Amino acid sequence: MLFTGKRYLDYTTFIKATFGERVQKISLDIGFSCPNRDGSKGFGGCTYCNNDTFNPDYCQPQKSVKQQLKEGMLFFGKKYKSQQYLAYFQAYTNTYGDFELLKKNYEEALSVSNVIGLVIGTRPDCISDELIDYLSFLSKTYFISLEFGIESTLNRTLEKVNRCHTFEETQAAYEKCKDKGFHLGAHLILGLPGESKSELLNHAKEVSKLPINTLKIHHLQIVKNSIMAFQYKRNPEQFNLFSVEDYTDLISDFIGYVRPDIIIERFIAEAPKDLLIAPNWGGLKNFEVVSKIEKN
């Protein structure tokens, strides 16, 4: 296990120990959808979702994978002259498509100079044995990370936010993917409507039972052009949004229940100011939240 001098394993330390230099993720949007958007399982997508909240300007599906990567490298290269890159298939569900098309996109990304691997964001109900075997093959040469959106371990919450999958499906997906040579990541949103503090802390216990390497967590944000924005406007009393102080207190407790070998990649997400409705934390950055947590 890496020694960080902290109460948890942090992603920056993991990257430096693994690659020996700075590695930057470059977000990609290849125009895929989700089964809870296109009618396969539902319509409207997750109630909290507006993908514009995390897509940078260069990340546009009408551009090729290679073009998005090149523009991302130009953007990040202005600040850091020497680094390598991970192609981050981020927007929507990036294993939800024809297998040959997926291969084409992944291999196009890996053909770009200084791209040393893939990070693929997806849902636990959108992974096939064929794709698992392919990613296992790629992992012999490249760094491959497959990230599943868990969001909650409570089925009632998953139903309420229109995920259209269960936590049991999440558990089954990780079971299929474990010990295949690629990293497994997980994503959780803390503060979804109706979840108590004890239930939030239990998320840490439940995800720690999964064979994950990394964990991303962030507080619930209400963003414009999402279904939840309309729900919040109509019934704000149904939402218990965190203040900075309450959230850092919760996270200080939360990480105590996380399995010690899990790398915590993120504590908050930062929605663009022009899209954020609530809560307003005054532009607080992830490193500032980390500092508050470490002082607790």
pLDDT in tens, 183-196: 999 999 999 999 99
59 has pLDDT over 70: no
Token readout for 32 is: 């895929």
Work out the angle at residue 38's Cα, subtended by the Cα atoms of residues 239 and 136, and round it to the nearest 5 degrees.
95
CB contact burial 179-213 (16+ within 10 A = b; e otherwise)? ebebbbbbbbbbbbbebeeebbeebbebbbebebb
Residue 4 belongs to a domain = no
Q: Look up the CATH number of the domain holding residue 80.
A: 3.20.20.70
Per-residue pLDDT tens over the stretch 234-245: 999 999 899 999
Residue 183 belongs to a domain = yes
Residue 103 belongs to a domain = yes
Residue 3 belongs to a domain = no
Residue 260 belongs to a domain = yes
| Number of structural domains the chain divides into | 1
55 has pLDDT over 60: no
What is the DSSP secondary structure assignment for residue 216, as one 8-state letter? E
**What is the helix (H) or strand (E) element at residue 172, kind and residue range?**
helix 167-177
Residue 98 belongs to a domain = yes
Host domain of residue 26: 9-295
Per-residue pLDDT tens over the stretch 200-228: 999 999 999 999 999 999 999 999 999 99
Per-residue pLDDT tens over the stretch 89-128: 998 889 988 999 999 999 999 999 999 999 999 999 999 9
What backbone phi and psi angles, to 5 degrees, belong to 52?
-65, -15
Residue 213 belongs to a domain = yes
Burial of 273 (0-12, 13-18, 19+ CB in 10 A): exposed
**What's the mean pLDDT in 85-90?**
95
Residue 243 belongs to a domain = yes
